[in-house]
Amino acid sequence: MKTKRILIIDDERPLLESLEMFLTEKEYAVRCAVTAEEGIRQCAIFDPHVIVLDIRLPDMNGLDVLQELVRSGRRNIIIITAFHDMDTTIKAVKFGAFDYIPKPIDVEELDSAIEKALKTSGTVVMDCPGYQFLARPCFPFHARIDPHAGRHNLRRSYCISAGKKI
């Protein structure tokens, strides 16, 4: 089995070191970047399976980085931030974030999000006659989000029948 690659983009060096050590022990290949520019460059070189991205970076807004990465075909981007609010959460999902984890980070929660992202790397998760359930983050119209909850699970599905969202 090939080693899965994870890129972490965050300007907090102690956090980077801790996450790198934790994920390396889980047998992932890990690279770290402390700026958006460095992260985008590493992304092109390292070709990660999962990207862990902080919202607040010194040289660029993490949401702008997210959009740029998604435009370049990247998926499986997990957002982390100490400054979580509902507007940012919703924007992250609309822009293509796979998951959103507030700081301080629970490493088991991050590990679980990474495993889910890796399992849904292809688009189709499940097929049934006439339907496909796709692994793509979105908020269904009926979703209720508690802004006071500690974590918002952004992994939702589109249901597509004959190419149309239903």
Q: How confident is the model at residue 1 (pLDDT cuts 50, 70, 90)?
A: low
Residue 37 lies in a domain: yes
Residue 162 lies in a domain: no
Residue 13 lies in a domain: yes
Residue 139 lies in a domain: no
DSSP 126: E
Q: Global pTM?
A: 0.73
pLDDT tens digits along 86-128: 899 999 999 999 999 999 999 999 999 999 999 987 533 333 3
Higher pLDDT, 142 or 66: 66
What gap in Å lies between CA 121 and CA 123, rounded to an integer?
6
Residue 96 lies in a domain: yes
Domain that holds residue 109: 5-122
The tally of domains found in the chain comes to 1
CA dihedral 35, 88, 15, 46 (to 10 degrees): -50
Helix, coil or strand: residue 136: coil
Q: Round to the nearest angstrom and report the end-to-end CA distance of the chain.
A: 37
> What average pLDDT does range 42-69 have in this prediction?
97
Residue 160 lies in a domain: no
Domain containing 34 — which CATH number? 3.40.50.2300
Type of residue numbered 160: I
Residue 145 predicted with pLDDT over 50: no
To 5 degrees, how large is the angle CA 69–CA 86–CA 152? Answer: 75
Residue 157 lies in a domain: no
**Tell me, what's the pLDDT at 125?**
35
Residue 152 lies in a domain: no
